[in-house]
Structure formats: structure tokens, C-alpha cells
A and B are shown apart, each in its own frame.
Chain A
Amino acid sequence: MKKLVTAAVCAVATVALNAAADERSAVRLGTEGAYPPFNWIDENGDLQGFDVEIGNALCAAARLDCSWVVQDWDGIIPGLLAKKYDAIVASMSITEERRQKVDFTAKYYNTPAKFVRKKGSGIEISETGLAGKTIGVQRATVHDRFLRDNYGDIVSIKTYPAQPDANLDFVAGRVDLLLADSLVLLDGFLSTPEGEEAEFVGPDFTDPRWFGEGVGIAVRKGDADLLAALNQAIADIRADGTYQRINAAYFSFDVYGD
């Protein structure tokens, strides 16, 4: 009897799955879940954020059946290559270096990087102003790379698995400066109670040599169908106003850039 029931359940499940597969193909999206306001996990354990809503909107537009996988940032490309998920929607900048390993869609937003200092510290962003300072940055990010290439010999760089860890150490006084995406610093830190004593300093950094051509979705090399579907979906949600609606829910200006 038990066997019969199991068999029946399996049969029904198979039929149901096949039906679903006919209609929509299953795609797993990888994200970090620790990068507010772009992606984070709320008190209920649910994924939230701009990346997540954009990802869901793209899936709806492309008629894909999407699910989310959370993965630490410094393992996010290896995870894609190891097929733990099929695309990365995690505010990943489109850089030449990453292009060697993965393919990118067109950008879906582009915001500059900025330094943050403690109010009253008087630190200036220049060769002399930075000499001997300790800077906190998230490991394996474009910001990490930018610091190493440009100020590597004059500053000490502390790298963190996730941006909130770097923010904590800034509050504790273990690092003098932070370098990260300006919106991540603004929404995830400066506008929170912990960030009261901190302020932006220095120019906007956008040099494509380090910061790439904006933020895109990464897929495995050769996954041309998914890439084309996502590119089409980005164009669609830009055209039908879905993008603008999500944008407005998070930011007071257009983060798509020009």
C-alpha cells in the first residue's frame, strides 16, 4: 500500500513538474544577501533589495521560473562556475577581469564609489592625505582592486567578507576610511544610527578600468539563451516602467546612469 502511494505521489509530481517545465524553464539566481540596499536578508529570513526586485521583475518579463540562492561574495563566481546557480544578480560590476570567466548582460545600474571618513578626522583623499591610513574594504570587490592598484603601497588595506563587517570596524575605530559603492555606504551605513559619526569625502570614482561599465548580471560563458533572455528582459522592464517603479521605491534618483 505504502509503495503504491509513493508511486502515485511520484507520478503526480512528475506530471506537475513536466507541465511547469513546458511553460517556464527553471533558473537559479545567486546573490549575496549582505549588501543593503541592493540585497539583504530581512528579519524573517527573506531576501530583499533592489537586486532582488529587479531579478524577480526580469524573471517575470522573461517568463522564467526563478529561485534564489544565497552565497558569500568572495565565492560567488566560483559558485556560478560550479553550477550552484545559473546567474549572479548581486550588484556585480562588469569588469574585464571577470569577463575572462563569465559573460555579462548589459548593465542594470551604475553608481559611483566613494570614501567615507569619520566626521572631524580631516582626512583628505590624496597621496599625502592617505599615507599611513588604514582602509576597510570588502574582499574581492572592484573597490578592493582599485585600492590595491592605486594606493597599495601607501595605505594598509583590511579586507572583509561583507560590507557590514567593514562598517562595524569603522565604528570601532579599527579602520580610518571605508571605500565602497556610494549608495551602499549611504543607505547601508551613513543613514543608520551607527553611521552618524561618518561622512563622505573625496570625489566620485567611476573609472571604468577599475569600476567597469556598470553593474550587470553574470552567467556562465556560453549560456547564450539565458544571456539573451535576460538582456531582452532588461530592455523590457526599462521600457514598460517596471524598472522606474522599483528604482523609485529605493532611491530618489535614477540609478541606471546614462
Chain B
Amino acid sequence: MDLAIVWESLPRLLEGAVLTLEITFLSLLAGFCLAVPVAMARLTPRRMLRVPAYVYMLYFRGTPLLVQLFLVYYGSGQFQPFLDQVGVWFLFREAYFCAVFTLTLNTAAYTAEILRGAMLVVPRGEVEAARSLGMSGLLLFRRIILPKALRLALPAYTNEAVFLLQATSLVSIITLLDLTGVARIIVAQSFEPYKLYITAGLIYLVITYTFVLVSRRLERRLSAHLREQPAGGIGNVVGR
């Protein structure tokens, strides 16, 4: 098999992979920052906060990412005069912004759900102990619930990060030249779909497994105090 085409296009593919990573990390970062308050809002008894958080999560988890992407990219195009008036069109004009914006909203909804689940299983005893020491409100949340919930959420969150990485391949549809976008262009020019998509797939695989390995190391570090016991996880903690 002649692999010259793979070798020739490797620099362009890697350039695309850089864009893929950029979009993934920006969206993960912004998405996480958004997910924490959304998860909190989802859990408060206050309807004013709970209902909007619920609706937001319902929409972004209940509709396909591709539809969301089209909605933001081509939808914003239709409201261009209005967006121009409020001064945000220069952002929506860029496919890059539209992609990060949509992926952020999407991953934040999923991450909020993961965090909500994790916060719910933070052992009641630990929360009560903290309360008996006089902690309450945000302090309790920041010192006890959030750190514990993050540790519990890590395996599920790693999954979400991997899903998001793979979901970025959709941005090639709105003109961005990510790894998939570059591969599609080269395939269109060379008519060699197998070689190029296999190469692109292998690059995704390397990135994904790097993600997973880093996350595993992090998990081990965060659970150092549990080392003597069977490996941690949500089920275990609940049963303890």
C-alpha cells in the first residue's frame, strides 16, 4: 500500500488536530465554569433558579449537538442585523466563536448533570459534621461538598471530556478546519478516504487515550487516602 499520501498530509492533519485540541480545551474550561453554578442552581429549593437551570439542561441534553451548532451558526446569521445592533455580531461572525460557544453550552449541561449526581451522593454524615462545626452556605459548599463531588465525578467527567473531543469533529460542517475538516478536504482532493480517515482516527485515538491516562493518574492522586480500601467510586462510597 502506498502511504505517501498519508505522510504528505500529516503536517496538515496535525495542524487540524491543534485546532481540535484548542476548541476542546476552551469549551471544557468554559463549560466547567458554567456547569458548577448551573448544578448548584439545579439543586437549590429556590424555583427562580431551579427551573431555568432545569430547562437549560433539558434543552442541551435533549437535542442533537449538530442541531445546536446549526442553530447558533446559521441562526445567528439570520439575526445578523439585530446582533450587530447589540454589538455581538463580530463574535458570531466567526465560526470559531460559534463552535466554542455551542460546545461550551452543550458540555456545561452534561457536566452540570454529572456534578448534580455527584453532589447528591456526598455522604450526609460529612455534610452534617461540617454543619456541626458551624459551616454553612457557600463555605460548606466550597470546602466540603464541591471537593468531594469533584472527586466522585471525575470518572464520569473524563467520559464527558472524551465525548466532547469527539463531538468537535462536527465543527468541520461550519467551515472550521479541525482534524476532521482537514481530512475531508484532503480526501476530496485525493479520493483516498480509507488511508486518510484511518490516519485521522489514529490521531483522535492518541489524543483520547492521553486524556484517559491523565485522568486516571489524577484519580489515583485524589484517592490516595483511600488506597488501602477497594478502588473508590460512587457505588462504593454510597455503600460505605
| A contact set with B: CB distance below 8 Å | 74-75, 77-78, 81, 97, 101, 139-140, 145, 158-161, 165, 168-169, 171-174
Contacts and interface: CB of A to CB of B under 8 A. Distances in A.
Given A78-B191, A101-B191, A173-B93, A159 B80 contact: no
A114 B126 CA distance: 71
Contacts of A101: 191
Interface residues of B, number: 16
B185 A78 contact: no
A161 B74 CA distance: 14
Given A74-B188, A140-B188, A172 B193 contact: no
A60 to B, nearest CB: 31
A81 B187 CA distance: 13
Nearest to B192: A78
A179 B184 CA distance: 20
Nearest to B76: A172
Contacts of B185: 139-140, 159
Given A139-B184, A159-B175, A173-B77, 10 more contacts: A74-B187, A74-B188, A75-B187, A78-B191, A81-B191, A140-B189, A168-B74, A171-B77, A172-B78, A172-B93
Contact of B77 (A78, A97, A145, A169): A169
Contacts of B187: 74-75, 78
B191 A77 contact: yes
B29 interface: no
25 contacts: A74-B187, A74-B188, A75-B187, A75-B193, A77-B191, A78-B187, A78-B191, A78-B193, A97-B189, A101-B191, A139-B184, A140-B185, A140-B188, A140-B189, A158-B175, A165-B74, A168-B74, A169-B77, A169-B175, A171-B77, A172-B74, A172-B77, A172-B78, A172-B80, A173-B93
Contacts of B189: 97, 140, 145
Interface string B170-196: 000101000000001101110101000
Given A158-B175, A159-B175, A173-B93, A74 B184 contact: yes
Contact of A173 (B80, B184, B193): B80
Chain A interface mostly: helix
Nearest to A194: B78
A75 B175 CA distance: 16
Contacts of A171: 77
A74 B182 CA distance: 12
Contacts of B80: 172-173
A159 B176 CA distance: 9
Contacts of A172: 74, 76-78, 80, 93
A146 to B, nearest CB: 13
Interface in B86-112: 93, 95
A168 B78 CA distance: 8
A186 B189 CA distance: 27
Contacts of B74: 165, 168-169, 172
Contacts of B188: 74, 139-140
A85 B76 CA distance: 37
A222 to B, nearest CB: 16
A78 B76 CA distance: 33
Contacts of A97: 189
Contacts of B193: 75, 78
B79 to A, nearest CB: 9
Contacts of B77: 168-169, 171-174
Contacts of B93: 172-174
A19 to B, nearest CB: 38
A161 B173 contact: yes
A-B pairs with lowest CB-CB distance, top 5:
A172-B77, A140-B188, A74-B188, A78-B193, A158-B175
Nearest to B176: A158
Nearest to B74: A168
Nearest to B89: A173
Nearest to B83: A172
Contacts of A78: 187, 191, 193
